[in-house]
Amino acid sequence: MAAIILLIFAPLLAGVINRAKAFFAGRTGQPLLQVYFDIAKLLRKGVVYSRTTTWVFRAGPIVSLAAVLCAACMIPLGGVRALMSFPGDFILVAYLLGLARFMTVLAALDTGSAFEGMGASREVQFAALTEPALLLALISIGSATGDWSLHEMFAVVNAHAWAAHGAVLAMATVALLAVLLVENSRVPFDDPNTHLELTMIHEVMVLDHSGPDLAFIEFGASVKFAMFAALLSGLIVPVRTGLAWVDASAALAGLFAVAVVAGVIESCMARLRILRVPQMLVAASVLAGVAILVALAQGVAP
């Protein structure tokens, strides 16, 4: 169920971020549904392929979107069930996201443009540091709650769990927020708006895609954001009443809150120097590592 909610609301979250940024800049901003319009427009357009590209370039967007959608099936939204759930599914989620990134990178390299190659190199460099942070953060939540599937571990994060494992959950939240910002190429790690070659990371890799391919990428990106926002919302909104409607609407409110927070961070912070980015990511991993230590210590305690 959670996956369906995520797929429906994913592009809306991007709209919420844009409106939050527009509010800070004193603009009206684009319509909340703009991303839906964009995707619909792109789907109706034709595709242009460069003659240097091969089938890898065409497969890239399709495989990435498929991988992201599979991963979304395993993400719970607060107390709302994930479509699929089994112990250790968060590792599969991390590697499905890795597969999506791998295909995007391959497609970027396939264009033969040095520009895209540079973006691919940066993307992979930062991904190598983001993945441990994501896994460690999820493991810390798992060891605090004692459950090892995403659904189970988030289903028990209620006010009582916050009272018992507050420190662990808080550190995991901060680490996951860092992962969310870097995975979705938001400020302070990357700027989704820039097209300046020295600064951008993710955006540069998709410059050569057009038409439905670009629509897939846009939709995949917004679903990815929604997935991480759902995880964060599961942490920061500890409402688990068992009533499906209450849980779902509380988690949905959390989802939009995360989008607003991302917009606020983007409006208030400057982009980090690119040399500082790995340092911040390692710090996020270390924070998650500390969270695991604390969770284990509580297990050791008599």
Partner 1 sequence: MTMLASIALVLLVLSNIRLLGGSRLGTLIQTVAIQGVILAFLPLFAHPGGGLNYELLAMAAATGLIKGLVLPRMLTRAVRDVQVRREVEPIVGYSTSLLVGLAALAVSAYLGWKLSPAEPAVSPLLVPVAIFTVLVGLFLIMTRRKALTQVVGYLVFENGIYTFGVSLAYRQPLLVELSVLLDVFVGVFVMGIIVFHIQREFDHIDADKLSLLRDGESQEEHQ
Q: Which residues bind partner 1 (CB under 8 A)?
A: 167, 171, 278-279, 282-283, 285-287, 289-290, 293-294, 296-298, 300-302
Which residue, 21 or 122, is less far from partner 1 as judged by CB? 122
Q: Which is nearer to partner 1, 171 or 250 (CB)?
A: 171
Q: Specify the residue, 192 or 278, whose C-beta has the smaller distance to partner 1.
A: 278
**Least distance to partner 1 from the beta carbon of 246, Å?**
30
CA distances from 127 to 72, 201, 269 (A): 19, 11, 22
**Which lies closer to partner 1 via its Cβ, residue 126 or residue 219?**
126
- What is the sign, positive or negative, of the torsion defined by CA atoms of 260, 290, 85, 158? negative
DSSP state of 167: H
What is 241-268 written as a DSSP string? -S-HHHHHHHHHHHHHHHHHHHHHHHHH
| 22 vs 280 by CB, closer to partner 1 | 280
Helices (H), the chain: 2-25, 34-44, 55-73, 89-110, 114-145, 150-155, 159-183, 211-236, 244-268, 276-300
Q: Are 30 and 86 in contact (CB under 8 A)?
A: no
User: C-beta of 173: minimal distance to partner 1 in Å?
Assistant: 14
Q: Yes or no: say if 138 and 173 are a contact pair by the CB < 8 Å rule.
A: no
> 88 vs 299, which CB is nearer to partner 1?
299
Q: How far apart are CA 224 and CA 134, in angstroms?
A: 13
Residue 149 C-beta: closest distance to partner 1, Å = 25
Please choose, from the candidates 196, 210, 266, 261, the residue with its C-alpha nearest in 3D space to the C-alpha of residue 232.
Answer: 261
Query: Treating both helix axes as pointing N-terminal to C-terminal, what angle do 55-73 and 211-236 enclose, rounded to 10 degrees?
Result: 20
| Min CB(300)–partner 1 separation in Å | 4
Give the pair of three-digit tokens for residue 71: 């991963």
Closest CB 198 distance from partner 1, rounded Å: 20
Minimum CB–partner distance for residue 126 and partner 1 (Å):
12
